[in-house]
Structures are given as structure tokens and as C-alpha cells.
Amino acid sequence: MQKWEYKLTVSEIDEETSLREYLQKQLLIPKHLIFALRTNERVLVNNKYLPMNFAIKAGDKIHLTFVEDDFSLPVQNLIPDDSIKPDILYEDADLLVVNKPRGFKTHPNQPGETNTLLNFCEAYLNKTNQHAFMIHRLDQFTSGAIIVGKNPAVVPILVRLIKDKVIHRNYLAWTDGIITPPTGTIEKPIGFDPDDKRKRKIDGVKPLQAKTDYMVQSTTEDHSLVELSLHTGRTHQLRVHLASIGHPILGDPLYNPNSDNDDMLLHSWKLTLIRPYYMDQIEIKSPLPDSFKTFM
């Protein structure tokens, strides 16, 4: 049975912080995993098992041990596909940041499906008896930095950090026209398009609030290079928001059907990563694809 261990040193905290509060609020470990650690005495403070309400202090040594039985999905059912080697921007014992190529899906949707980014990562990780775990996704025609988990112990924490926007993702896109003003916020609800199940629509069916910040980086005679930052994570959010202000992304097959560009020019450019358990910050950038550079 596989296990995953973390040896941590408590940083500056409130003197009244209990071990349970530290695990739950500082490390963002879900309650069911804290229960498993407590029940099986697999959380040690300074090499001793202590009750969860025990007060800890800065400098204390915490040792956590997770095992496969702690997780409902200790291994995801992915078929390894070694036809493409992942372009790895960052790797540690817990996760990968991969430069996703345009045109490939993030994950399989059907049983037996291969040729997706996660299938490629599964083949890469199987060589060291590890597995790929989905954390978030990029659209098929979006390129750039994406996080892939290497064990189930980090998955809920990474998902939470992305949901709470503690992990920041910045995108670059080339759009039609000159965007004015050059900085701003698009705040429009996005729902399903009743006329096309592939698409989303401003004020569509079952709309959810969506917010995007933008900043124009440069312009040509007819186009804008814009940096985008998400406050929410709705499906196709950047594509729908830019189209809604009259500046759809070049090459977008759904929201800019008249574009004469072959590639959709949307790229996950910069990722401000928070590493689970250690909670330190790393900034990772993904190099721009050649299709971007031709406009610059």
C-alpha cells in the first residue's frame, strides 16, 4: 500500500491555535482526512501523537502520513499514452506544472479514451510508480500552464486553492480590434446557450456571476494583446467575456467564427503556485507559442 508523508515546521501562528485548527485552516486539509489522521494516530507533533485540541506553537515539527485507504480514489482510471512527452515547466514530489499544447483536451471524457494531456502525464508518471490527478482544466484550444497532481493527498488542497483564487492564473490573448479603455473589468453573468450546447452565453440559461480583469499589453493596427485575470472560473469565461465587449479572441471557433486565424490565441501564461502543505509560493511562466509571436 502506498503512503505519502509530510514533515513540516509550524511557522508563525496564533498562540492559541490547536492542532486541528492548524490542519484545517492553515493547511486546508479536509475534515475526513483529519479524521483519518486522528483515528489512526498518523499525525505526530514533535514525534508524539497528541489530541487534536492540543495547542501548537511556532517551531513545532508536524509529521503527517496518508495511506491509500484514506482516499475514495487513490488512483484515477487513466490509460497511459506515451505518444507525446509532456512539456514540464515545474515538478516536485507532489505535482507537475505542464505546458499544455493547443488542440489537446485536458482529460478523457469517454471510457478508453487516450490522446489527452492527462493520458500523457499518466504515462510519464507511471515510470516512477506514480499517477496523474486532474486539478483543473484548460479548453482544448487553449495552450499553456496547467497543474497536474501526482498523489491524492494534494488534490483537495490544490482544488481549494484554485477555487478560492489563492493560486492565481494569468492569461494572454490576441483579440480583434483595439480594446478601450486599455484596462478594466468585465462583470457579466454567464449561462448556457439554449441554441448550442457547446457554447455559453451572457445572461444565458442558469447564469452564474463571472468577473474578469483585463489589461492591454500592446496593439497592432487591428488587434490587441491583452492580459487577463480570472476572479471566477466559468466555462469559456474569457472567450465569452471578450466576445461580449466586441473583441473576440483570434481563431476562436465558437465565439469568433469569422476570424481568419487558424489557431485560437489564448494562452495560460503565468501561474502563481502555492504548494500544498508547505504553502510557499512559486511563480511559473509558460513560453508563448509561435502563433502568438507572429503578431508581436
286 domain residue, yes or no: no
How far from 269 is each of 67, 133, 136, 251, 284, CA to CA, in Å? 35, 21, 15, 18, 8
Judge if 213 and 193 occupy the same domain.
Answer: yes
pLDDT score at 151: 95
Domain that holds residue 14: 3-70
Q: Count the neighbouring beta carbons within 10 Å of the beta carbon of residue 128.
A: 7
CATH number of the CATH domain containing 27: 3.10.290.10
- Do 247 and 177 lie in a common domain? yes
Total number of domains in the chain: 3
Cell of 173: 490573448
Residue range 78-97, pLDDT digits in tens? 999 999 999 999 999 999 99
Last residue of a domain, one of 34, 54, 70: 70
Which mean pLDDT values do the consecutive 10-residue runs of the chain (296 residues) have? 93 86 96 95 95 92 95 82 97 98 93 95 96 94 97 96 93 96 97 94 96 96 95 94 97 88 92 96 95 78
Residues 149 and 180 in one domain: no
CB 158 within 8 A of CB 135: yes
Q: Are residues 245 and 198 in the same domain?
A: yes
139 flagged as catalytic:
yes
Please report whether residue 273 resides in a domain: no
Q: Which is it for strands 281-285 and 190-192: parallel, antiparallel or unpaired?
A: unpaired
Q: How many of the other CB atoms lie within 10 Å of CB of 224?
A: 23
Query: The pTM is what?
Result: 0.92
Q: Is position 220 within any domain?
A: yes
Residue 264 lies in a domain: yes
Question: Are 193 and 152 found together in one domain?
Answer: no
Residues near 242 by beta carbon (within 8 Å), at least 6 away in sequence: 173, 175, 186, 214, 226, 228, 248, 249, 255
From residue 185, alpha-carbon distances to 244, 275, 276 in Å are 12, 29, 30
Residue 182, domain CATH: 3.30.2350.10
Cα distance from N-terminal residue to C-terminal residue, the chain: 52
- Which is the catalytic residue, given 70, 94, 139, 263? 139
Q: Report yes or no: 230 and 212 within 8 Å, Cβ to Cβ.
A: yes
DSSP codes, 186-226? EE--EEE-TT-TT-EEET-EEEE--EEEEEEEEE-SSEEEE
Q: Which pLDDT score, from 0 to 100, does residue 74 have?
A: 63
* Residue 159 counted as domain residue: yes
